[in-house]
Amino acid sequence: MALSEIRSAIDELDREIVALIARRQSWVVKAGELKRGEDHDAVRAPARVEGVVAHVRQLAADAGASPEVVEATYRAMISGFIALELSVHAETAADQAHES
């Protein structure tokens, strides 16, 4: 197999991964909207983060992927989603304040 074929396969996987991230993002936005009125700790949810990380490490091990790589990837992704959810949470709170 040529390097170009390998890169093409990786590019296709990247398209699939990005589509899955977009699906996950839509759920994160919904969660941010539902958490209106709660403090930022409800959005950050450190216990939930650690639970997700433990879960995906096990999924990685079961799938033959590196648990360390999967954990690092998920921690980066979760960090980005927390920032997004905090912005949605803040926008939702601001919208409610204007409606009152």
DSSP 43-97: HH-HHHHHHHHHHHHHHHHHHT--HHHHHHHHHHHHHHHHHHHHHHHHHHHHHHH
- pLDDT score of 33: 83
In the chain, the amino acid numbered 62 is D
- DSSP code, position 38: S
- pLDDT score of 94: 63
Which residue ranges in the chain fall short of pLDDT 50?
none
**Could you identify the residue written with the tokens 């879960």?**
55
- pLDDT score of 97: 61
Its CATH class, for the domain covering 15-99, is: mainly alpha
What is the C-alpha separation between 64 and 23, in angstroms, rounded?
Answer: 24
What is the C-alpha separation between 25 and 3, in angstroms, rounded?
Answer: 32
- pLDDT score of 25: 96
- pLDDT score of 96: 61
